[in-house]
Structure 1
Amino acid sequence: MDTKPLIIDIATKLFQQKGYIGVGLNEILKECGISKGSLYYHFPNGKEELLIACLQSLNEAIMKDITEIFEEYSTTNEATYAMIEKLIANYETEGTLTGYTFSSIVSEMASLSDSVRNACAKLYSEIQTIYFQKLVADGFSNNEASSNALIMTLSIEGGMLLCLIQKAKEPLQVIAQVLPQILKTRRFKTSE
């Protein structure tokens, strides 16, 4: 593996496990087996630039995964259920959801740095766009699809965060059961 992708891969895992503030450059250097000069060669602006590269890498992986799932299933409910089931299976196998959520990084950095906040906003916007498009294909109006896509994002991200905090898969299981009913109820109410 080339040095830059190696640094991004290892730093992403460390940031997700310990948070941005909890990981020092020396720990990243040690885990990567590289010198400080090598890190600054690839990331001249240091740790924050590396964080943004990690967020972009996470974004690519998450978007690929979500897009594949949402293209495979014919309805939003089926796709959402399949995606949450995949998250649960991943949690059961690995005991964590690293690689699927960037909430732990966002919570401590988004208010400190506009460039990080903008990178995070872009990631969430792209996820919501996938949900929005599927909801529109299911017959929701643009307005309904937009608000429901936001609810889906909040529910799933919150569920992943609770899984990590509680060290349990139940929050995602509840969301998998309840979210389709919420969408159905919201559609019925907005159609009246």
Structure 2
Amino acid sequence: MDTKSLIIEIATKLFQKKGYLGVGLNEILKECNISKGSLYHHFPNGKEQLLIACLQSLNAIIISDMKEIFQQHPTTQLATQTMIEKLADQYDRDGMITGYTFSSIVSEMGSLSEPVRNACALSFTKIQDIYTYKLEEDGFSEQTAQSLALMMTATIEGGIMLCLTKNTSEPLRTISKGLPQLLKNE
């Protein structure tokens, strides 16, 4: 793995675990075993530029995972249920849900940094596009599919945050049972 990729991988884990403001440059340098010069070589604008690179990396992983799940299932209902169950299982196994929520970063940095807010917004848009496309395949109109996609994104993101605050996967498991019922196109 090249140095830039290593920095992104380690910083992503640190940001997810401690938040942007909870991670200092010295901690990133120590965990990556690199010099400050090496970090600034790859990220001349510093920590915020690194955060945006981490968000882009997370986004690529999330989108790839979601596309795979949504391509493997014939309906939005089944795909959504599978995806949510995967998240709940990850929470039960690891005690956290890595890579599937940008909410904490947006709440921490969104009002402080327009580039970070834009990177997060793009990620949510791509997620909603996956839902919209699958809902349209299920026969929903474009407008209805877009509305449902927004609701799905908000519901799942909220469920993830509830899992983290309540220290249980139950919110996602409840959503996994209820949300697919709302996606019936009859």
Q: TM-score range by the shorter chain?
A: over 0.9
Q: Does 1:111 align with 2:111?
A: yes
C-alpha separation in 1, matches of 2:3 and 2:95 = 28
Where relative contact order (Cα < 8 A, 6+ residues apart) is larger, the structure is 2
Cα-to-partner distance string for 1:16-72 (whole Å, 9 max, x where unaligned) = 111111111011111111110000000000000000000000000000000000000
Query: Which residue is 2:167 aligned to?
Result: 167
Native 8 Å contact 2:77 2:181 kept in 1: no
| Number of equivalences | 186
Structure 1, unaligned runs of 5 or more: none
Take 1:4 and 1:97, find their aligned partners in 2: how far apart are those partners? Answer: 24
In the aligned structure 2, how far is the partner of 1:4 from the partner of 1:181? 44
Identity %: 65
Range with greater deviation from structure 2 (28-37 or 103-112): 103-112
Instruction: State which drifts further: 63-72 or 101-110.
Output: 101-110
Provide the residue aligned with 1:128 in structure 2. Answer: 128
Aligned runs of 1:26-37 on 2, under 5 Å? 26-37=26-37
RMSD over aligned CA atoms reads 1.0
Match of 1:140 in 2: 140
TM-score for both structures, normalised by structure 2: 0.97
Correspondence for 1:96: 96
**Residues 1:21 and 2:24 aligned together:** no
* 1-structure distance, mates of 2:148, 2:78: 15
Deviation of 1:102 after TM superposition, in Å, equals 2.2
Task: Give, in whole Å, the separation in 2 of the partners of 1:113 and 1:126.
Answer: 20
Amino acid at match of 2:111: S
In structure 2, the residue matched to 1:55 is 55
Aligned mates of 2:94, 2:25 — CA distance in 1: 26
8 Å contact from structure 1 (residues 8, 53) kept in 2 = yes
Question: Cα offset for 1:162?
Answer: 1.0
Distance, in Å, in 2 between the alignment partners of 1:143 and 1:31 is: 46
C-alpha contact (below 8 Å) 1:111/1:117 kept by paired residues: yes
